[in-house]
Structure 1
Amino acid sequence: MWNSHSTAGPLSLTAQIQTYPGGGGDEIGGYVARPGGDGPRPGLVLVIHMPGFDEFYFEFAERLARHGYDVICPDLYSRFGHGLPDDVFAKVRAEGHVHDDSAVADLAAAREWLLALPTSNGKVGILGSCSGGRHALLTASLVPGFDAVVDLWGGGVVAAPEDATPARPVAPIDYTERLDAPLLGLFGNEDQSPTPAQVDLHEARLKAAGKDYEFHRYDGAGHGFTYYHTPLYRQEQAMDAWEKMFAFLSEKLGAR
């Protein structure tokens, strides 16, 4: 899937921060990246990681758009105010993090926004990394109608009852039976959140429930191994993960 475009084109996209009706009808921010052309094409809800609404995620959205998806990346921290991403995240962390019910409502609303686009082919997936992987899986488990979900090393999918917080009252694994979207999970075997044992437990629960899923695990990689702007980056594993992600999304949603 990498370098799958023709050098003759056409290849174009538009990308910008804009507002959309989030959970409860609140106007919240989102980074929207869309290919040129009339469609029809699938949509993707891209879920921010814990560092927040940052430049890496803007580039993530644009890469997905170049592969034929209408993408919206909601700013789940909108209600905490605005500023530099690191400063906003510090405020979010100090106030106990975004609550699951708020995130799920905003992400469900993003799905509806994508489906209402004149370019929509009627299919929408959801994906994210780190806390975004957790929120993606949680949302796909609680909100019917997503056509695919990608969890990139989502920490906290498996959690003990004593680890519950007001923001995270239930671990997503406890909603496994409600998941009706096919799931792709990508994990590093050196990660500590989730640990390989937690990934094993999640896989066992999915298998027992008869869910449509595929997990891939990478030796020599830990958390955030596709983050090319950090020391966590592992080039070989990251490129294989991109290939698997694009193949999965193409199979479940369409586009190239």
Structure 2
Amino acid sequence: MGIVARMLTQEHDGIPGYAAHPDGPGSRPGILMVHHAHGVTADYKIDAYRLATLGYNVLAPSLFNMFGIPGTTQIGHGADLQAKHSDPEFLQKIDEAWRYLTGRMNSDPARTACIGHCMGGRLLIPFAADHPQVRAIVLYYPSIRDEPETSHRPRHAFKLAPTLKCASLVFCGGKDYIATPAIQGPLWQSFIASGSPVEWHFFSDANHGFRHPDNEGFQPHYADLAWPLVTDFLQGLTMKEPTVVRLAQTERVSFGPLSHYQLIIGDDEGSTPVRTGIQTAQPGYEAPLHSHPYVEILHILDGAAEAWIEGREDEPIVLEQGDTLAIPPDTPHSFRVRGDRVLRLLGTHASSRRIVAYKDGAQSDARGYRVVD
């Protein structure tokens, strides 16, 4: 699966920031990333790319650029910029970004979630309250303070969180100097009061900003600990729609002059638990003797085949249309087309990646396919 990742500008794209998405047409789940007070720093681009490899359209808009403030990042200026622009102004920009993500980037609104850090996490609470179609929000140490409501920040999270309709994942740190543990307690109660699903992680010695390398509070072990929690949470909520693969639109990989293979489930990143593909072979084709460190299942769609394992070549198993053969791990095996009909078989690898060991010593490429001269 190829990934398209690039910077966006107001002049050329209608919105500034960074976007990453799988290559190719079609509607996909989306992720809107709302940045912290430092702007769209490098780690947002890395995370956007990693999320795109999982099948998401990802947009990290530069809210500060949307206000006409130049610069890729605004490290050290975030507090002044938040003092200059009110929450309603920020929320208007986030809404523009949401419409871009679900419009021009063709993300399915029913499967689109948001991730926010610090300032971004705080702003996503009123945004999600105003946009019940948001599937889920992930908040890293949202910068909630015990402060009165004003025209600049007219709606406090304590009042908004009970109204949320989406699922929430929240990370808090015991050493957070903004949203201190004294604030996190009532904030937790506010989220629970919504009746919507809430997953809450409290790291007792985590700092504010533990996710961001440009932040003084950066703690890489907590950043690494949080990431799989985030991806599991998001995939459980946004990847439940059926996946449709059109065989005519898949890549054909040559297995020599008499056969080709088309992967239908799986990708080069190993993001699926199994790999499934269809191999088409002409009469006269014989697969080289090989093995896999996992179970392989062969199902005959059309034609017929003879299969055997190493040492039992004189005991071939005849497989007709509709037959299925399960091959144990680390068992060298082969098959050939039987008769004069074209063979089409569905092969399933019980692995996220294709791993092949050839008995003749031939090499596999980075995708697990035999290198054919």
**Superposition TM-score, scaled by structure 2 size:** 0.58
Which residue in 1 is equivalent to 2:30? 43
Question: What one-letter code is carried by the residue in structure 1 that aligns with 2:46?
Answer: E
Rounded to whole Å, the distance in 2 between the matches of 1:216 and 1:151 is 10
How far apart are 1:212 and its partner, in Å?
Answer: 1.7
Match of 1:131 among 95, 103, 119: 119
Greater than 6 Å deviation, 4+ residue runs: none
Rounded to whole Å, the distance in 2 between the matches of 1:69 and 1:91 is 28
Name whichever structure is richer in helix by fraction. 1
Question: What one-letter code is carried by the residue in structure 1 that aligns with 2:62?
Answer: D
Which residue in 1 is equivalent to 2:52? 65
Which residue in 2 is equivalent to 1:90? 77
Q: Deviations over 1:216-251 (max 9, x none)?
A: 111321111122344422233221210110011101
Which residue in 2 is equivalent to 1:15? 6
Which residue in 2 is equivalent to 1:4? none
How far apart are 1:91 and its partner, in Å?
Answer: 8.3
Which residue in 1 is equivalent to 2:162? 177
Between 47-56 and 111-120, the greater mean CA deviation after superposition: 111-120
Between 174-183 and 204-213, the greater mean CA deviation after superposition: 204-213
Which residue in 1 is equivalent to 2:322? none
Question: What one-letter code is carried by the residue in structure 1 that aligns with 2:190?
Answer: R
Which residue in 1 is equivalent to 2:182? 197
How far apart are 1:135 and its partner, in Å?
Answer: 1.0
Partner of 2:142, secondary structure, is coil
With a CA cutoff of 8 Å and minimum separation of 6, indicate the structure with the bigger relative contact order: 1
Which residue in 1 is equivalent to 2:43? 56
Q: Deviations over 1:108-166 (max 9, x none)?
A: 2322222224753442111110101111222111222100111110012x5331xx454
**Superposition TM-score, scaled by structure 1 size:** 0.82
Q: Does 1:233 align with 2:221?
A: no
Partner of 1:42, secondary structure, is strand
Which residue in 1 is equivalent to 2:199? 214
Match of 1:104 among 88, 91, 98: 91
Larger Rg: 2
Rounded to whole Å, the distance in 1 between the matches of 2:203 and 2:143 is 16
CA contact (8 A) 1:39 1:121 kept: no
Rounded to whole Å, the distance in 1 between the matches of 2:237 and 2:81 is 38
Q: Does 1:140 align with 2:128?
A: yes
Which residue in 1 is equivalent to 2:274? none
Distance change (3 Å), C-alpha of 1:143 and 1:40? closer
Q: Does 1:152 align with 2:143?
A: no
Rounded to whole Å, the distance in 2 between the matches of 1:95 and 1:195 is 20
CA contact (8 A) 2:37 2:74 kept: no
CA contact (8 A) 2:172 2:203 kept: yes
Name whichever structure is richer in strand by fraction. 2
Distance change (3 Å), C-alpha of 1:102 and 1:36? same
Distance change (3 Å), C-alpha of 1:197 and 1:92? closer
Between 170-179 and 197-206, the greater mean CA deviation after superposition: 170-179
CA contact (8 A) 2:6 2:19 kept: yes
Rounded to whole Å, the distance in 1 between the matches of 2:236 and 2:193 is 24
CA contact (8 A) 1:111 1:124 kept: no
CA contact (8 A) 1:77 1:98 kept: no
How far apart are 1:187 and its partner, in Å?
Answer: 1.3
How far apart are 1:184 and its partner, in Å?
Answer: 0.5
How far apart are 1:92 and its partner, in Å?
Answer: 7.1
Rounded to whole Å, the distance in 1 between the matches of 2:101 and 2:82 is 30
Aligned-pair identity in percent equals 26
Partner of 1:211, secondary structure, is coil
Gaps of 5+ in 1: 1-9, 21-26
Q: RMSD in angstroms over aligned alpha carbons? A: 2.7
Gaps of 5+ in 2: 241-270, 272-373
CA contact (8 A) 2:39 2:72 kept: no
Rounded to whole Å, the distance in 1 between the matches of 2:34 and 2:47 is 10
Aligned length: 239
CA contact (8 A) 1:141 1:175 kept: yes
How far apart are 1:90 and its partner, in Å?
Answer: 3.1
Rounded to whole Å, the distance in 1 between the matches of 2:81 and 2:34 is 21
Distance change (3 Å), C-alpha of 1:212 and 1:97? farther
